[in-house]
Amino acid sequence: MSKVTRKNKTGAYSRWLNTIERVGNKLPHPIALFALFAALTVVLSAVCAAFGVSATGELISGGELKETTVTAVSLLTGEGIRYMLTNAVSNFTNYAPLGMVLVAMLGVGVAEQSGLIHALLKATVKITPRRLITPMLVFLGVMSNIATDAGYVILIPLGDMIFRAYGRHPMAGFAAAFAGVSGGFSANLLVGTLDALLAGITQTAVTIIDPNYQVAVVGNYYFMMTSTFLITILGTFVTDKIVEPRLLAYTGEVQGQEDTMLTTITAEEKRGLKAAGIVALIYAAVVVLACLPENSFFRNENGSLLGRPTSPFLDSTVILITFLFLLPAIAYGRAAGTLKNEKEVCGAMAKSMGSMGSFLALAFFSAQFINYFNYTEIGTIIALAGSNFFRKIDIGLIPLMVVFVLFSAFMNLFLGSSSAKWNILAPVFVPMFMLLGYSPELCQLAYRIGDSCTNVITPMMTYYAVILIFAQRYDKKAGIGTLTATMLPYSLVFLVGWVLMMIVWLLIGWPIGAGTSLFYGI
């Protein structure tokens, strides 16, 4: 049996992170904390409304840019109280991660209960060199954003299992996967829905200056494709050199025996994996064949699988992945003898749902907090006030880009939605960049860097509550302090590394995307 010990780190940086963890974990339980956040938002909204706090700027409304004054809205009025009471249930049921997590867990839960995931992990351990497991996990995290938000509910919980299978700290695997999925959210080797979504918002903002300018969906592709490898390298470095050394480490006299057990696949498991593999291939082939016809039900009205508007294929990602786990898991269970009939399959589903009680409680209060914050317009006011400040300054390209990246990263701490922030910032910054002679795609690029880097540390990120629950599956005492101290190194290193890459890119003058220049009018 392995024993758990703590590696004592005496470095100043490690002591600083340990202090963040201790102080953060002295905060109330995450459920109570989000309830407190919601209550503080109610009070703050009343104070801001009483003092007439507001901001003015151009916002996109109904596809058009309009000069708008946004004033803080109080929740301590008759209308505000009615909103809180009548929308409490809908805030919860419409909470974006809720359905996605629960549906995904139906498939993942059966795969875990049947033993399929355990067998796959042993097979992965057997064929993947130990030194490559971290970069593989970070890379898969970055690539997972092509499937919208599925990486949050699929890959992150698998990260700790993979590291545990290698005899490494499971929290480090969790962190590596989270860093790739969320910190590297904008990067990818493929063009995804985020590219199309942000390009559409940028296109609307461009019309202020040039109605004939067409923003390319692939306008950031070269830079973001290269960023995939940067984030993989940086994420690997932070995991192996900073995060894992300060976490609890697994040690023990029988470690070698455990390694042998983890890489030994039984005859039943081999039979189950073969059956699961055949079913997975058939399932994947059916999905691919269904996507091929030009009039496929998976395609959008323009006949595209990945373009805008969002296609039924992308909207179906979660349920498709659920069945990608569920069907092979059933095949594995029948072949390996771990799931003998439909009653045991249903029992595995019920057991996986039963483990989500803490998430459901936390999701309720997290949903109220996020919706209160949006209703009161506090986040929008902060964004507009910052945007108006930047409108008044005139500095060189590289300083402007660096400051805008930092500003976007800071704004992400208050307004989690990437598209919502860009709807606010694009009408201000895109025209400003264009008037200074810089392309709209360049402005969008700087925003995407900042928006990604602080995803892993902001409680405004939609899936923050989900991530906390995943962390507590390993460490029951894990709180916001643990999560922040663990992920802060990723945020800082990603921010510095990405900015340096951007500066080098600009100095060389490389195009940032297909058919896209750094400068407007060229």
State mean pLDDT over 432-441: 80
CA 408/CA 445 separation, integer angstroms: 11
Tokens read off for 370 = 């996020």
- How high is the pLDDT of residue 412? 83
Helix (H) or strand (E) holding 443: helix 440-453
194-198, 266-270, 433-437 — which one is most confidently predicted on average?
Answer: 266-270
Give me the half-sphere count of Cα atoms (radius 13 Å) on the Cβ side of residue 155: 25
For residues 65 and 207, the answer to whether their CB atoms sit within 8 Å is yes
Q: How would DSSP label each residue in 372-407?
A: HHHHTTHHHHHHHHHHHHHHH----HHHHHHHHHHH
* Helix, strand, coil % over all residues of the chain, rounded to 5: 70, 5, 25
For 33-67, write each residue's pLDDT tens digit: 778 888 988 999 999 999 998 888 766 565 566 77
Q: How confident is the model at residue 249, as a pLDDT?
A: 44
Backbone angles phi, psi at 50, to 5 degrees: -65, -35
The pLDDT assigned to 449 comes to 95
Confidence of residue 190 (pLDDT cuts 50, 70, 90): confident
Mean pLDDT to the nearest integer, 472-476: 72
Give me the pLDDT at residue 77, please. 93
Q: How far apart are CA 276 and CA 282, in angstroms?
A: 10
Q: Which amino acid type is present at position 468?
A: L
Contacts 24+ apart (CB under 8 A), 117-124: 117/158, 117/161, 119/265, 119/269, 119/272, 119/273, 119/332, 119/336, 120/273, 121/161, 121/162, 121/165, 121/262, 122/165, 122/262, 122/263, 122/264, 122/265, 122/269, 123/265, 123/273, 124/162, 124/165
Return the CA Rg of the chain: 24
Which of the pair, 131 or 419, is modelled with greater confidence? 131
pLDDT value at 462 more than 50: yes
Let me know: does 55 contact 31? Beta carbons within 8 Å: no
* Per-residue pLDDT tens over the stretch 101-126: 677 778 877 887 888 877 776 776 67
Interval 430-457 mean pLDDT: 86
| pLDDT tens string 258-278 | 444 445 778 888 899 999 999
CB atoms within 10 A of CB 66: 11
Kindly state the tokens that stand for 386.
């910052």
Are the C-beta atoms of residues 179 and 239 closer than 8 Å to each other?
A: yes
How far are the Cα atoms of 41, 141, 300, 340 from residue 188, in angstroms, in the given order?
36, 10, 22, 41
CA distances from 474 to 174, 181, 243, 246, 345 (A): 9, 19, 16, 16, 25
- The per-residue pLDDT for 194 is 74
Question: Higher pLDDT residue, 273 or 416?
Answer: 273
Give the pLDDT confidence score for residue 315 in this predicted structure.
73
Beta carbons within 10 angstroms of residue 131's beta carbon: 9
Question: pLDDT tens digits for 277-334?
Answer: 999 999 999 999 998 888 888 888 877 776 556 678 867 777 887 888 899 999 999 9
* Cα separation, 183 vs 138, whole angstroms: 10
